[in-house]
Amino acid sequence: MSQYVLALDQGTTSSRAILFDRAGRPYDVAQQDFPQLFPHPGWVEHDAIAIWESQLAVARQVMRNANVSAQDIAAIGIANQRETTVLWDRKTGEPIANAIVWQDRRTASICESLRDAGLGTLFQQKTGLVLDAYFSGTKLKWLLDHVPNTRARAERGELAFGTIDSWLIYKLCGRHLTDVSNASRTLLFNIHTLQWDDELLSALTIPRSLLPEVTPSSGIVAHCNAEWFGRTLPIAGLAGDQQAATFGQACFQPGMAKNTYGTGCFMLLNTGNSPITSHNQLLTTVGWQCTSNTAAVDYMLEGSVFMAGAIVQWLRDELGLIQQSADIEALASSTSDSNGVWFVPAFNGLGAPYWDPYARGTLLGMTRGTSKAHIARAALESIAYQSADLMTAMQKDASVPLLALRVDGGASRNNLLMQFQADILGSPVIRPVVTETTALGAAYLAGLGVGFWQDADEIAGFWQVDRCFEPRMSVDERSSRLSIWHRAVERSRGWDSPSE
């Protein structure tokens, strides 16, 4: 009997593969970084071939390291960086350009033109999203408009578009498909009908022939070719990374929320089987759909912060303040506060609830007494402040109080940050034993899809608390800090506006 589920966790800066056992515990892991490409200010690209090769390499590596064969694996689940856009030749399987990453801001002017044309409400009503360069639709339009001969080839049906899940499935299986969670991040998918939408495609001048088939998130959707792992294996779980992390956190009931601290910061609240339209600049998105009940879709409210762990990478790589990312906690803890320094990390604009593509990174309040420890502390605190803004907007939309926030991702292991997050939220922050919840969610979806696990109740029983951070900050101090934070945010906004 197969003893493991293999999760492929394709992230923004690295590809990982993790084997999970029947108790939902990580058995072994392999990880490989790949290059980040910044051809122009505000542009972020990936080599899609490098993504594929790194993901295949770590999948094979984790099997070798664990001495596990394909016969020991029940299914494969895939979680992926969302919105990152790949366009490739259907016959050769070669990308026609670098992938445009979710962080890329080159299509901000396209979004502005669509809003000026009065289409913002149409897109929000049908997709649950705001018109922002974050999402895939305008990235695909840019490729069709700027790569020579691409639009004509697309019209002839020679090209295929996909987010990273689609790209990996195409390379593994030769199939062209995506799941509802990833489709809901494209600006092209109607989250009410669960179909690609012709009116939206027309608004963005995108041929329908480019689009993948849309499937549920759990259930066998394809089989990988035997050449990759020695035998065919079913791919039975698909989800965008943040939806996968929400599933891995067992947030199965309406009102349950999680926050992932990765390259960016992503907070999702389960709202049940009906979408809630946000009136506070949040996103309404599909969480997942399981084949065991294809009529039922779990919807989410989501807030996205563009810069979280990436701030620590910047302090390490560009400023040289630390040698390793893990050093940030000790440096920030060496001072009791930020000494009046405020850091708004709007390097690629601001996400929810501001949606300002022209905001830029801002350091305020520095004096001759400012040290690198103060900057490090302000950087960590900025992650918590941004997340607090998301939760405030989320509670207004959902009209439910936050009882506790489940956290995961690399930075959730930073105790200083997690305590400050609890303080500035005024609510407990709970870190589980297994913080690799993105990969875990992909594994759970795949395992459910092949009967490796029976149901959501069994999975929920695996979730265990590692540590609960209780708020200590007074209401008055919390209010004062948030007020100053919002002043700092206003200083950063509109800095790179083309009208200036």
Element containing residue 238 per DSSP (H, E): strand 234-240
Contacts for 32 with CB less than 8 Å, ≥ 6 apart: 14, 15, 16, 54, 57, 58, 61
**Given the structure tokens 């056992």, which residue do they identify?**
21
Looking at residue 69, its amino acid is S
Binding positions for ATP are: 12-14, 263, 309, 313, 410
- Residue 269 DSSP SS3: strand
Q: How far apart are CA 131 and CA 224, in angstroms?
A: 35
The DSSP string of 55-118 is HHHHHHHHHHHTT--GGGEEEEEEEE-SS-BEEEETTT--BSSPEEPTT--TTHHHHHHHHHTT
Residue 37 DSSP class: B
Token reading at 38: 């910044």
DSSP string, 417-467: HHHHHHHHHTS-EEEES---HHHHHHHHHHHHHHTSS--HHHHHTT--EEE
- Which residues line the annotated binding site? 12-14, 16, 82-83, 134, 241-242, 263, 309, 313, 410, 414
Is 396 in contact with 280 (CB distance < 8 Å)? yes
The answer for residues whose C-beta is within 8 angstroms of residue 107's C-beta and 6 or more apart is 133, 138, 139, 141, 142
Annotated binding site for ADP: 12, 16, 263, 309, 410, 414
Q: What are the phi and psi torsion angles at 469 (to 5°)?
A: -100, 115
Alpha helices in 307-371 (DSSP H): 309-317, 327-333
Going by the annotation, the residues of the binding site for sn-glycerol 3-phosphate are 12, 82-83, 134, 241
Contact 44, 480 (CB under 8 A): no
DSSP state of 211: P
Measured CA to CA, the distance from residue 361 to residue 351 in angstroms comes to 13
Helix (H, G, I), strand (E, B) or coil at 148: coil
Alpha-carbon dihedral sign for residues 98, 102, 104, 106? positive
Instruction: Round to whole Å and give the CA distance between 120 and 101.
Output: 22
166 forms beta bridges with none
Extract the annotated binding site for glycerol.
82-83, 134, 241-242
DSSP-derived secondary structure letter, 22: T
Q: CA 402 → CA 179, 363, 405, 422, distances in Å?
A: 29, 31, 7, 11
